Structure 1
């Protein structure tokens, strides 16, 4: 690996880790359901970036692309279901605060 590629690799790994830390902060600190969803979305994007970097470094981009496509499909389904839960919670409670979701009906 040349020096330029190594520099870009290190910078992109640091950037992905910073995105994961930001997403964790967003998920753990915020009580707003929309912000929690945005944090979850940020985290999956950072994992996608790390998968692409790992595929490039290991010289197995085809396998990495397979994992990335699978991750994107799973991410879309999870976000769609979570958005449905957020909309239902807002209709029921008229608020997006996660702390007020204490009376869940089955």
Structure 2
């Protein structure tokens, strides 16, 4: 267990909480699909930071690194698909406002 991680535990925890709060704000306060995607990215980055912190505190950094790499790969695939959907919605409707995209049924 690294002493630096233990000494600065609250700093990393507060940083993760601030990033998580910013991501949650992007999701709740905005109807722009691009901002919503950025909010999802911020949420996953805060979870990744907490996983790094948990791995360093418990001394199981190797297991956490494997989990983090898996998380990053899944996140990249999901964001790529979501960005493709946003681009398709923009091409068909001319806007990325979530309220204007109510006719995406079927």
Query: Could you say which TM-score interval applies, normalised by the shorter chain?
Result: over 0.9
Spell out, residue by residue over 1:52-101, the C-alpha distance to the aligned partner (whole angstroms, 9 max, x if none). 00000111001100110000000000000000010011011100100111
CA 1:48–1:97: 2 relative to 1, 3 Å: same
Deviation at 1:4, TM superposition (A): 5.5
2:104 aligned with 1:104: yes
User: Tell me, which stretches of 5 or more residues in structure 1 are unaligned?
Assistant: none
Number of aligned pairs? 106
Residue 93 of structure 2 corresponds to which residue in structure 1?
Answer: 93
2:47 aligned with 1:47: yes
Deviation at 1:2, TM superposition (A): 8.5
TM-score (norm 1): 0.93
> Which stretch of structure 1 is more off in the superposition, 33-42 or 2-11?
2-11
Higher relative contact order (CA 8 A, sep 6+): 2
Structure 1 runs of 4+ with >6 Å offset: none
Q: Cα RMSD between the aligned structures?
A: 1.6
Name the CA distance, whole Å, in 2 between partners of 1:5 and 1:32: 37
The answer to whether the 8 A contact 2:89-2:96 is kept is: yes
Name the CA distance, whole Å, in 1 between partners of 2:5 and 2:84: 42
